[in-house]
Amino acid sequence: MVPLSSHILDRKGRLLYEIYRDEKRTPIKLSTVPKYVWEASIAIEDKDFFKHGGVSLLGGVGRALKEIIVNKSLQGGSTITQQLVKSALLSPERTIRRKAREMVLAIWAEQIFDKNEILELYLNQIPYGES
């Protein structure tokens, strides 16, 4: 579960105070985010987001394996859906077992949620700077 800020409003619905501990988060709807923000996120994180079913074996995973073998450096190969699952549901450990779980849960998530819902959850889950 994502920690959210508590909002204290006046009787007209205007924000008086926002209370939070370590993270200041207020969930937003995808429709309120400028299109260029989510387009840029897709372009940077997962260019095939609208084409795959949660896992991109040829794209992300293949690119990451090539990077490990050729350059001996670790590179992320996770789709946006995998990143959402990883940050929301799984531990941060980097093991093959956790990666397998991440892939299975990503495929499952894509069958439950549509792409816009996944993108909205992702944008509300990942850190995008401070305010």
Q: Is residue 37 part of a domain?
A: yes
Asked whether residue 11 is assigned to any structural domain, the reply reads no
Q: What pLDDT, on a 0 to 100 scale, did the predictor assign at position 10?
A: 83
Residue 15, domain member (yes or no): no
- For residue 92, being part of any structural domain is answered with yes
Say what angle helices 80-89 and 96-112 make with each other, to 10 degrees: 110
Top-ranked range on mean pLDDT: pick from 56-70, 83-97, 111-125:
111-125
Is 94 within the bounds of a domain?
Answer: yes
Rounded to an integer, what distance in angstroms lies between the CA atom of residue 118 and that of residue 121?
5
Q: Is the pTM of this model over 0.75?
A: no
CA dist., res. 66 & res. 61, Å (int): 9
How many domains, the chain?
1
CA 23 to CA 52: how far, in whole Å?
32
- What pLDDT shows up at residue 113? 95
Domain membership of residue 63 as a residue range: 33-125
The pLDDT assigned to 70 comes to: 64
Domain presence at residue 131: no
The C-alpha atoms of residue 30 and residue 53 are separated, in whole angstroms, by 20
Mean predicted confidence (pLDDT) in 66-75:
58
Encode pLDDT of 16-68 as tens digits: 766 766 666 677 899 999 999 999 999 999 999 999 999 987 765 555 555 55
Residue 101 placed within a domain: yes
The CATH number for 70's domain is 1.10.3810.10
Domain assignment of residue 130, yes or no: no
| Confidence at residue 98, expressed as pLDDT on a 0 to 100 scale | 87
